[in-house]
Amino acid sequence: MAALRPRAALPLDAPAGLGSKRGMAQAQLTIDLAAIRANWRALANATTGEAGAVVKADGYGLGVARVAPALAAEGARRFFVATAHEGIAVRRALGAGPEICVFSGHMNGDAEIIRDHRLTPMLNSIDQMLRHVEALPGHSFGIQLDSGMNRLGMEPAEWSALREIALAQKPVLIMSHLACADEPSHGMNAFQLRTFREMTDGLDVPRSLSATGGILLGPDYHFELTRPGVGIYGGQPFADARAVVELMLPVIQVRDVAPGESVGYGNAHVARVPTRVATVAAGYADGIHRALAAKGAVWAGDTRCKIIGRVSMDLITVDVTALNKVPEQLELLGRHQTVDMVADAVGTIGYEILTGLGARYARVYTGA
């Protein structure tokens, strides 16, 4: 009958900031544009040539309409997106000047978008090359080469067959991508560098090989342009990055759970000792991975509070027994916990945590 025992209500602190338009049960994602600019600046300073900026997947989930102009204000002139469609929002955000390059190249049906938004496809095959020059003769393009990753780009044989024709059309960039740049001692790095050089040495076209990880491998890997992405947004492998995101989750309710009582779906957590549990307004629909229930925590000031029970669609439950006073909000990302720490807890990478940040958060930009 323990479950039916009446409990004393545990009042939360009075809500502050009643003037805000945010719903009180809406989590707040704060994105520090000054930190984004500082991270790009640091990577640009570490680059021997020019640094571009990768803003695919809506600026790694942080909102390209705000992120791209901040990077342009800091001096970025070449931007990269995954698909032509992504380029539309980036062109809108940036206006006419900057170059916007498309990793997927020129796909069937993309000609109009590429032309209207003045995008620069990185052509990945002979088919794409033919499609591009036929649909949009004289329109800018680059070439993507496969130096060993076997994901995108022309392989050495295809490139030798097409080289002279492609060069006659004046590509603005020749690029390739490293598979293992986050492991500096991996032999694949030197192998891909050698392959890329063999495919491109002596050509009078700017070259690009390195993303964030490649920048950190040193100047041999930089060529004329680098393409940092995750480091701009505060993620590994850029260890010196400034934190960019803070995610604060509102506490909806607090209750005391007696030994033997369970918490959440599947009775996944059973209290062994008297436990104070906070129910917090964010769940897997907001990008909080269900696997975070096993090892994850949120922070109340400097106190780590374990997530207990299962992650629900809209809620998580947190052990706040150690707190004298339960704050209105708990930190999932911020000063105490980086995207990479959360990623480690669920067995993924910071990139996936960033790009999975949900659409329901109230997004606040600072440092503009």
Q: Which residues are annotated as a binding site for substrate?
A: 151, 313
Smaller CB distance to ligand PLP: residue 101 or 257? 101
Alpha-carbon torsion, ordered 10, 14, 20, 25, to 10 deg: 0
Cα→Cα distances 366→18, 36, 240, 304, Å: 20, 10, 20, 26
Complete DSSP assignment for 47-91: -SSEE-EE-HHHHHTT-HHHHHHHHHHHT--EEEESSHHHHHHHH
Residue nearest to ligand PLP (CB): 229
Least distance in angstroms from the C-beta of 254 to ligand PLP: 39
- Which residues, at least 6 apart from 303, have a Cβ–Cβ distance to it below 8 Å? 322, 323
# residues near ligand PLP by CB under 6 A: 12
Please list the residues that pair with 297 across neighbouring strands.
Answer: 306
Smaller CB distance to ligand PLP: residue 228 or 250? 228
- Burial label for 315, CB within 10 Å (0-12, 13-18, 19+), is buried
DSSP code of residue 225: E
Contact (CB, 8 A) for 323 and 276: yes
The stretch near ligand PLP (CB under 6 A) out of 105-113, 187-195, 208-216, 277-285 is 208-216
Stretch 8-67 residues interacting with ligand PLP (CB under 6 A): 54, 56
The stretch near ligand PLP (CB under 6 A) out of 130-138, 196-204, 207-215, 297-305 is 207-215
DSSP code of residue 81: E
Least distance in angstroms from the C-beta of 121 to ligand PLP: 13
Q: Rule CB under 6 A: is residue 229 a binding residue for ligand PLP? A: yes
Q: Rule CB under 6 A: is residue 227 a binding residue for ligand PLP? A: yes
Q: Rule CB under 6 A: is residue 103 a binding residue for ligand PLP? A: yes
Smaller CB distance to ligand PLP: residue 178 or 288? 178
Q: Rule CB under 6 A: is residue 230 a binding residue for ligand PLP? A: yes
Q: Where do contacts with ligand PLP occur on this chain (CB under 6 A)? A: 54, 56, 103, 177, 211-213, 227-231
Residues noted as catalytic: 56, 265
